[in-house]
Amino acid sequence: MDTFLDFISFKDPNVIYVVLGVVFINAASALIGTFALLRKRALIGDAIAHSLLPGVCLGFLAAGEKNLIFLMFGAVITGWLSTFAVDIIVNRSKVKQDAAIGIVLSTFFAIGIVLLTYIQNHASGQQAGLETFLFGQAAAISRQDVIIFLVVLLVVLVAIIAFYRTFVLVTFNREYAITLGVKVKAYEFLITTLTVLSIAAGIQALGVILMSALVITPAAVGRLWSDQLPKIILLAVVFSIISGIGGAFVSYSSAQMPTGPWVVLLLSAIVGFSILFSPKKGIIARYKKSRENRLKILRENILKSIYVYHEKMMDKSLSLQMTVTDIMETRRFDTDDLTSGLRYLTHKGYLAKQGKSISLTDSGKKESKRIVRLHRLWEQYLLKKTTIDSDHVHSGAEAIEHIITPELEKELVKELGITGIPEEDY
């Protein structure tokens, strides 16, 4: 608890830099990453990140010291070259994009490792600490770095706000944008450059290997929670910042722990959580939906059986007292299902129970009539409008009565010209 208080009160001034740095990096990469994901260029982020390494080394060689501006400049150039190389391979050969990304990524990374080894074997390189660019070292973020990260974030933010509509247009329908006279190539170049820039900003803290996660994952999570682009972008940024701060805290509270991997792990945990719990698309939501459907079908089938029982007994008032056995004789339910279904229907006021005998209430009568009517309307529809043997009609109509909406019911009635409940059941 003390560690936590120390952390949030920034007792150690270095913590401020780490937290701010990670927040700025994560926000920038989540913002532009949303467009990379929607352009189906998610893997490009991975290629770019790996391709930054040779640029970082060249930047170091040019500056002769670890100057972040030089390193980032070199990184942006090789990162951008890598996307250019992918495009050339795809356009000029039969190699597909995924293969091209794999080739470019590993080639640039190999060059990077060669340069890195060269630098470390030379006198000036020994204290360079460039190997932190492989796995990242957030603790080393300085005040000056934070300012550079903030500038990158602002550039990305301003560009997205200014060109939001065009970015969306180019992303959604590139060819159409061209026919409108939009300079599509220029905007694509801008999006790519912004992607490279925000990845380059992050490699010091997260390393070239993990940085691609910050481009791809937040947007993918945002997409799970929303269908609206502004919300997706906002959620991506929020989730990314949360995992950034979380990662910084873990590495603060136990000095042995690296920041970058923890940021990525927290982000992955959010992905897992979202896949389970997100509304509509989440596994839990879908499970619940299918369970509700199953229960609805069961309850409606019970009411239907009660109606059919009355028909069998030649009773039009629907007010007979019946037992569980009577229902079971009409339709074979699973005993447990039937018991719980009856309990629910009684609770909802469709059935009245007196000791062992069950009867329909007024609303129960109405509901059972509605279901039988839908079932038989659909049977009539199948018989009249399609080729189906009459002994198959019943099973074909079974289950459909639970789906038919009032609008569809009206259309059915209009098409068939039937009022009331058809007598015949197949």
Q: Shortest gap between Cβ of 179 and other proteins (angstroms)?
A: 4
Residue (of 265, 202, 211) closest to 47 by Cα position: 211
Closest CB to other proteins among 206 and 219?
219
Instruction: State the alpha helices, DSSP H only, in 173-319.
Output: 174-179, 184-225, 229-253, 259-277, 283-312
Amino acid at 148: I
Closest CB to other proteins among 206 and 229?
229
95 binding other proteins? (CB under 8 A): no
Instruction: Name which of residues 334 to 363 contact other proteins (CB under 8 A).
Output: none
Closest CB to other proteins among 39 and 375?
39
Closest CB to other proteins among 4 and 172?
172
Which stretch, 17-25, 54-62, 165-173, 408-416, contacts other proteins (CB under 8 A)? 165-173
Judged by CB under 8 A, how many residues of this single chain contact other proteins? 25
Which of 1, 9, 91, 165 touches other proteins by CB under 8 A? Answer: 165
> What span, in angstroms and rounded, lies between the C-alpha atoms of 162 and 194?
13
Strand bridging mode 351-354 / 357-360: antiparallel
Which of 151, 155, 157, 169 touches other proteins by CB under 8 A? Answer: 169
360 DSSP β-pair partners: 351
Closest CB to other proteins among 70 and 225?
225
In Å, what is the CA distance from 365 to each residue of 21, 97, 217, 357, 359? 67, 62, 53, 16, 9
> What span, in angstroms and rounded, lies between the C-alpha atoms of 102 and 151?
31
Closest CB to other proteins among 73 and 164?
164
3-state secondary structure of 94: coil
Q: What track of x and - describes contact with other proteins for positions 35 through 64 (by CB under 8 A)?
A: ---x-x------------------------
> What span, in angstroms and rounded, lies between the C-alpha atoms of 158 and 136?
27
Q: Shortest gap between Cβ of 66 and other proteins (angstroms)?
A: 39
Q: What track of x and - describes contact with other proteins for positions 212 through 251 (by CB under 8 A)?
A: -----------x--xxxx--x-------------------
Q: Shortest gap between Cβ of 376 and other proteins (angstroms)?
A: 27
Do the beta carbons of residue 51 and residue 109 sit within 8 Å? yes
For the chain, helix (H) and strand (E) counts, in that order, are 17, 2
The residue written with tokens 């995924």 in the block is 98
Do the beta carbons of residue 275 and residue 283 sit within 8 Å? yes
Instruction: Name which of residues 172 to 201 contact other proteins (CB under 8 A).
Output: 172-173, 175-182
Instruction: Return the structure tokens found at 252.
Output: 């603060």
Closest CB to other proteins among 2 and 227?
227
Residues that bind other proteins (CB under 8 A): 38, 40, 162-163, 165-166, 168-169, 171-173, 175-182, 223, 226-229, 232
